[in-house]
Amino acid sequence: MNVLELDRITKRFGRVTVADELTLSVRQGDAVGVVGPNGAGKTSLFGMISGDLRPDAGEVRFDGHRVTLLDPSVRCRLGIGRTYQVPRPFLGLSVFENTLVAAQQGARTRGRASYALAARVLGETGLADLAGRPAAQLGLLQRKRLELARALATRPKLLLLDEVAGGLTDPEVTELVALITAAREREGLAVLWIEHVVRALTATVDRLICLAGGRIIGDGGPLEVLASPAVKEVFLGTADALTEAEDRDA
């Protein structure tokens, strides 16, 4: 069953087209990577799924609902959780409080249930020992973990990850991949993951799409998509980086 359907969505900013009659389906439990050169429209695509951005035309359907015109908070309660490229915790709140807000507002839990959910997610994301620390005092990996914890605490059916591996060391990427894989296995959630760290994607996803100019120019198994001439062409300057990542993973 499809959890997400984008039906010919179009979005333009002046002369820049970030989605050009883009059609995409994601099935329940799928893990789909999203790559594309800078400015391809990846983050805008997430915005139209999460509700931060409205398409000019086309429809977004989630879990049987037409959500195209719904606010982000409503979509979140329906089961769309997302992380942002630049983590957005409430800096004045502790790690636990940040996660609790997500459990209450996103998953609509109350009282003891919300405390239990927040505590469980902090355990799963390796943040339990930092529960009382103000978010402002966290390092990069810990902020990324908190971003993930906040998204998971909304109990999503679809998790949108926007470059959660960027800026991390190799062992940190491995830890993050394990964490995301475990969350998928436990919750059966679908994942859409924008990532420049291709190694993280190839280790996690079953399917990769490549965006360029607001269109999908590659869709299929990760290695097959990365090897396609159309995808290599749009990456020109970074083609070597992609090949190196493939070689490392082989």
Question: What distances in angstroms separate CA 239 from CA 128, 194, 209, one per listed residue?
Answer: 40, 17, 16
Name the residue nearer to ligand ATP (CB basis): 41 or 79.
41
Residues 37-76: x/- map of binding to ligand ATP (CB under 6 A)?
-xxxxxxx--------------------------------
From first CA to last CA, the distance across the chain in angstroms is: 32
Q: How far is the CB of 88 from ligand ATP (least distance, A)?
A: 15
* Site residues (CB under 6 A) for ligand ATP, limited to 8-27: 13, 16, 18
6 binds ligand ATP (CB under 6 A): no
4 binds ligand ATP (CB under 6 A): no
User: Exactly one of 3, 9, 26, 36 binds ligand ATP (CB under 6 A); which one?
Assistant: 36
Q: Which residue type does 245 have?
A: A
Q: What radius of gyration, in Å, describes the C-alpha atoms of the chain?
A: 18
Name the residue nearer to ligand ATP (CB basis): 19 or 118.
19
Quick one: which segment of 31-39, 110-118, 182-190, 229-237 binds ligand ATP (CB under 6 A)?
31-39
What is residue 108's three-state secondary structure?
A: coil
167 binds ligand ATP (CB under 6 A): no
What is residue 215's three-state secondary structure?
A: strand
d(CA 150, CA 146): 6
What is residue 21's three-state secondary structure?
A: strand
Please give the torsion angle defined by the CA atoms of residues 172, 173, 179 and 181, in that order, rounded to the nearest 10 degrees: -160
Residues lying near ligand ATP in the complex (CB under 6 A) are found at: 13, 16, 18, 36, 38-44
